[in-house]
Amino acid sequence: MLADVRAFTAFGCRPSAAITSITFQNDDAVFGAEHLTVDTIRHQVMAVLEGGGIAAVKTGMLPTRAVVREVARLFRETSLPAPVVDPVMRSSSGYALIEEEAVAELVNELLPLARLVTPNIPEAEQITGLRINDIEGMREAARMIRTSSVKAVLVKGGHLGNQDAGGRRQEAGHRERTEAIDLLDKEGQVTTFRGDWIPNAKLRGTGCMLSAAIAACLANGKSLEEAINEAKQFVTNAILQAQRTASV
């Protein structure tokens, strides 16, 4: 949530939040969570709606089947704009952030309501059942996710192994990965976004930051492609800043 707030404010947006779960975590790991009730979540959202002027929405951790169902219902029943859905499933330290039975609910009920879905490689694999090793795998995963009536999918490639310029996985001994590659499938039109790969990144929550920054750019009237480009550069700068800070 803190990462989301920093991203929204960096793009001149005034963020509001509805908390779905209180997590117990530090800079290294997530140790547990206490989930809020669906009534509590609904009351938070309705209070924000009373203020009006919501230009974009981003969803993150939706831990249970009941929570996913309630969030989908809120998008159907209210004036909330179509969200950027970050299908958060597991922390970087390996803690499960969504119950297994909630994944199907997420795919069937919430993803079709999204303006954009932003899975990372492990999330795309869990949704589709594919093993993703290269850009072609990312392309196929995005296509499969879109078959669930999803308008646009951005598969984030940060979890791919070392790659060559064409996105093919490199064998041991080949040159190190130099590019960070994300792939957008928007109604069948595929666009790849390439940036510099930053090894040994010291910043957690970059996936959350990317989806929040995309939503902020959409709120500012950018096209989807423009929003992704600007958000990707924002996250790159944040990682570089974190590395500079850590080295001081």
Domain contains 77: yes
Instruction: Determine the pLDDT at residue 202.
Output: 63
Domain contains 246: no
d(Cα 110, Cα 68) in Å, to the nearest integer?
7
Domain contains 2: no
Q: What is the pLDDT of residues 112-160, one digit of tens each?
A: 999 999 999 999 999 999 999 999 999 999 999 999 899 999 999 876 7
Residue 168 CB burial class (10 angstroms; 0-12, 13-18, ≥19): middle
HSE of 88, CA atoms in CB hemisphere, 13 A: 25
Domain contains 87: yes
Domain range for 130: 16-205
Domain contains 172: yes
Domain total of the chain: 1
Domain contains 60: yes
Tokens representing 145? 């996710």
Instruction: Determine the pLDDT at residue 206.
Output: 82
Domain contains 240: no
Q: What is the pLDDT of residues 48-102, one digit of tens each?
A: 999 888 999 999 999 999 999 999 999 999 999 999 999 999 877 777 889 999 9
Domain contains 59: yes
The position carrying tokens 């951005």 is 154
**Domain containing residue 124: CATH number:** 3.40.1190.20
